[in-house]
Amino acid sequence: MRPTPGLTPVIAIVNVGVVIVAAVVLLLVYPLGGDDGDAPATDLAGPAASPAPPPSPSPSAPPPATPESARQARANELGMIPVLMYHRILKKRLASIDRTPDQLRHELERLARSGYVPITAAEFAEGAIDVPAGAHPVVLTFDDGHPSHFALGSDGRPKPGTAVRIIFDVAEKFPGFRPVATFWINRAPFGLRDHARQAAAVQWLVEHGFEVGNHTHSHPDLHRLTAKKVSEAIVRQQRLLDSLGAPRTPTFALPYGSRPKKRSGAREGKWDGTKYDFDAVFLAGAQPAISPYAKDYDPYNIPRIQSNGKKGECRKWCSEYWLGWLDKHPGRRYTSDGDLTHVSMPRRFQGKIQAKLRGVAIAY
């Protein structure tokens, strides 16, 4: 995979190893629970595996971008997009990959002040990046469906301190901060064991614009499994998601960021009569992602940035470092032209766009 404009990608193997070790410890101490919740076998094949060209504008869409408007916005839609990875949100961190509610709130407010607008992983993968001119997309992802991510209080609102409540609080404080995120869940979504309560939680999230997707049924290390077992782990979870009323999403997140020996098994396969076919596979680290409009974009190896400070290996691999780097190098990050029908970039980057999108390119 070659770099996005001007950046040489370095795969942070050490950091991914830290994520794997920490997550293994979490599963040993806090194993997944809940019933299988399997639904009858069905064909769950997803859409085609390539981001579609930007959609046609709606009647209420802003006017089409022009070279002048793109220049004024300093648009670069071939720039890098941070895909942030979160795990548990706890008042007292028990593992290095945990974050406290205050740490999450601080990071989201930093994003809002820097002009970032959240989109879902599915919107990223589909190339449907609809943020205002001059703004930057960010993808907030939460793994494992932990109780600290989402729970409703007696008032029908997300409980204080949960990830969803913090996202809404930040959106209320910063109206331009769109309250959406992606939750990749396992067999006991948000710690719930009752199928009806699981379905109610998933449907609440979907109705409020969140994406709920597949993180396998029991969170295994897929690299250690046979191809058949890899497909089984994914299909079992896809059946559960289907039974809970979650719309079929084109995205999949690898547990521990660990790829199967047969790498294609993470994106497509079949088990017990049920097929799956994902458009995008997300890793566990460790740098900003390439724009889905860039010709170097690899939909089956999308990196994520672990949310964390700058100690140890995180000195150059986690969110505090990378968000600071993008602030210092604004020409390298994705900045929107505000127009879904065009892809705008400085002229020096125009050779980096996918060939199929050259007809909608604006270079200034």
The region of weakest confidence among 35-49, 122-136, 271-285, 312-326 is: 35-49
Give the tens place of pLDDT for each residue, 147-173: 999 999 999 999 999 999 999 999 999
Q: What pLDDT, on a 0 to 100 scale, did the predictor assign at position 166?
A: 98
Where are the domains positioned within the chain?
Answer: 13-33+81-330
The residue that leads in pLDDT, 162 or 53, is 162
Q: What pLDDT, on a 0 to 100 scale, did the predictor assign at position 52?
A: 52
Q: Given the DSSP bridges, would you call strands 268-271 and 274-277 parallel, antiparallel or unpaired?
A: antiparallel
Q: What pLDDT, on a 0 to 100 scale, did the predictor assign at position 285?
A: 79
Task: Tell me what the pLDDT averaged over the chain comes to.
Answer: 88
Give the tens place of pLDDT for each residue, 15-26: 444 444 444 434
Residue 351 has pLDDT above 70, yes or no: yes
Q: What pLDDT, on a 0 to 100 scale, did the predictor assign at position 62?
A: 77
Residue 88 has pLDDT above 60, yes or no: yes
Q: What is the pTM of this model?
A: 0.85
Give the tens place of pLDDT for each residue, 301-331: 999 999 999 999 899 999 999 999 999 999 9
211 Cβ partners below 8 Å, 6+ apart?
120, 121, 122, 180, 181, 182, 183, 249, 251
Name the residue among 300, 337, 303 with its Cα closest to residue 322.
303
Residue 30 has pLDDT above 80, yes or no: no
Cβ 334 vs Cβ 137: under 8 Å:
yes
The region, left, alpha or beta by phi > 0 then psi within -120 to 50, assigned to residue 157 is beta
Distance CA 55, CA 53 (A): 6
Give the tens place of pLDDT for each residue, 186-225: 999 999 999 999 999 999 999 999 999 999 999 999 999 9
CATH code, 13-33+81-330: 3.20.20.370
* Residue reference for tokens 């191809």: 227
Percent of the chain with pLDDT over 90: 82
